[in-house]
């Protein structure tokens, strides 16, 4: 069964720098999500994409965040000016290719460390 | 918005015993309730889910029950094994394509 993939697996950056996290979702699905998980805490919703547009975003997803689909298949999450508190695991997710739209399958995640 | 609470935060059981994790939710519009298992340093993996039109669902040693009236749902693991040790998260979602609201997680340790 196809899986969601993410790159890089680990990103280390200096505070104030921009980072771009990439995800290749399960193909042919209109829904797409980004979540983050601070170490030892719960998974938190950031933003959802439907049919190439942001459909919902949380309070966490402020102006420093943006999400794009630059080439029709990959999705990117950009953090413009990273802060120490942005250190977390970032997961992308989307429904299985089996036609169900209610469940979400997670990618392996990118561990972002802001120094 | 939806608020999902999860208890207990940690749970230790002897191998072979049962484990029960409970979650409550606040939004009566929520109609889909997945459970995820997350091993250390890995992605959350869906282990079982239930929709609001069903009261119980079972998959081998894992079962989930849902009480819509009381707005709570539970994960039951029977005959626990050491490989069941992980953090378990419940979640709730009101609509297809909507975000998942996650509980705070339960760290389950199965003692051999």
Above 70 in pLDDT, residue B97? Answer: no
Q: Which residues of chain B have a Cβ shorter than 8 Å from any chain A Cβ?
A: 32, 34, 36, 42-46, 49, 51, 89, 91, 93, 96-105
Q: Which residue has the higher pLDDT, B100 or A99?
A: B100
Structure token digits, residue A2: 């196809």
CA distance B100 to B1: 11
Above 80 in pLDDT, residue B110? Answer: yes
CA distance B24 to B48: 17
Residue A59 β-bridge partners: none
Residue A64 contacts residue A77 (beta carbons within 8 Å) = no
Per-residue confidence at A51, pLDDT binned at 50, 70, 90? Answer: confident
Q: Which of A12-16, A51-55, B76-80 has the weakest average pLDDT?
A: A51-55
For residue A15, give how far its alpha carbon lies from the nearest alpha carbon of chain B (Å). 23
Per-residue confidence at B53, pLDDT binned at 50, 70, 90? Answer: confident
Residue B18 contacts residue B5 (beta carbons within 8 Å) = no
**With an 8 Å Cβ cutoff, are A105 and B99 in contact?**
no
CA distance A19 to B29: 36
Can you say whether the dihedral through the CA atoms of B91, A96, A113, A79 is positive or negative? negative
Above 90 in pLDDT, residue B54? Answer: no
For residues A35-58, average pLDDT: 89
Q: What is the pLDDT of residue B43?
A: 92
Helix, coil or strand: residue B82: helix
> With contacts defined as CB-CB under 8 Å, which chain B residues touch A33?
99-100
Q: How do residues B2-52 score in pLDDT, each as one tens digit?
A: 899 999 999 999 999 999 999 999 999 899 999 999 999 899 999 999 988
Q: What is the pLDDT of residue A103?
A: 79
What is the interface size between A and B, counted as CB pairs within 8 Å?
Answer: 54
For residues B52-81, average pLDDT: 94
Q: What is the pLDDT of residue A72?
A: 72
Above 70 in pLDDT, residue A1? Answer: no
Q: How do residues A59-114 score in pLDDT, each as one tens digit?
A: 999 999 999 887 777 889 999 999 999 999 999 998 765 555 667 889 999 999 99
Q: What is the pLDDT of residue A27?
A: 67
């Amino acid at each position: 069964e196809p899986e969601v993939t993410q790159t890089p697996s680990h990103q280390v950056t200096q505070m104030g720098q921009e980072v771009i996290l990439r995800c290749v979702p399960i193909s042919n699905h209109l829904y797409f999500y980004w979540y983050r998980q601070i170490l030892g805490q719960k998974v938190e919703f950031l933003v959802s994409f439907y049919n190439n547009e942001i459909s919902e975003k949380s309070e966490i997803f402020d102006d420093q965040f943006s999400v794009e689909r630059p080439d029709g298949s990959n999705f990117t999450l950009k953090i413009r000016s990273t802060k120490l508190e942005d250190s977390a695991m970032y997961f992308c997710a989307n429904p299985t290719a089996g036609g169900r739209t209610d469940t979400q399958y997670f990618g392996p995640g990118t561990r972002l460390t802001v120094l | 918005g939806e608020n999902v609470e999860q208890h207990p935060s940690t749970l230790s059981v002897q191998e072979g015993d049962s484990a029960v994790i409970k979650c409550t939710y606040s939004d009566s519009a929520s109609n889909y309730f997945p459970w995820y298992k997350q091993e250390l340093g890995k992605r959350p993996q869906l282990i079982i889910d239930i929709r609001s039109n069903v009261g119980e669902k079972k998959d081998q040693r894992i079962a989930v029950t849902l009480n819509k009236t009381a707005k709570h749902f539970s994960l039951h693991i029977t005959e626990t094994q050491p490989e069941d040790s992980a953090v378990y998260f419940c979640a709730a979602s009101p609509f297809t394509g909507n975000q998942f609201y996650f509980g705070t997680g339960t760290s389950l340790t199965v003692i051999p």
